[in-house]
Amino acid sequence: MKREELVSYCLAKPGAEETYPWGEEELVAKVGGKGFAFIGTGTVSVKCGRDAAEAAEWRDRYPEAVTMSHYVGRFGWNSVDWTGPVPDDDVRELIDASYEAAVAALPKSRRPAVPGPA
């Protein structure tokens, strides 16, 4: 997966916004003011479960490509190498789950409107 594809996938989520709170090196995709993907140069940090134990399942599955995120790893966040070792479909699954967790944590008044069927 290329960085542009990863960024586009994140920003296509309803209510997603692009922010750079620490400079141009790391993009933080947010929904309702809550980060759901921290995209750096080669890794993306995402919420991979309710806690560190659930996130560990991904680290066990891809030991060379998924590591515990600094500072927030104990809360279920992992850093994922999106440059090849982890299949694109799994990267998308992790982004989807992280986005859904961020939306679920928002007050209903701040949740994005989800488009209905056409």
Domain boundary assignment for the chain: 3-110
Cα separation, 14 vs 113, whole angstroms: 7
pLDDT tens digits for the chain (118 residues)?
899 999 999 999 999 999 999 888 889 999 999 999 999 888 899 998 877 888 899 999 999 999 888 766 567 788 999 887 899 999 999 999 999 999 999 998 888 876 655 5
- Pick among 3.90.1150.10, 3.90.1150.30, 3.30.1950.10, 3.30.1600.10: CATH of 3-110: 3.90.1150.30
Cα separation, 96 vs 14, whole angstroms: 11
Residue 50, SS3?
coil
Q: Give the containing element (helix H, strand E) for 31.
A: strand 27-31
Cα separation, 95 vs 45, whole angstroms: 9
CB 34 within 8 A of CB 105: yes
Kindly state the tokens that stand for 64: 């060379």
Query: What's the pTM value of the predicted model, to 2 decimals?
Result: 0.88
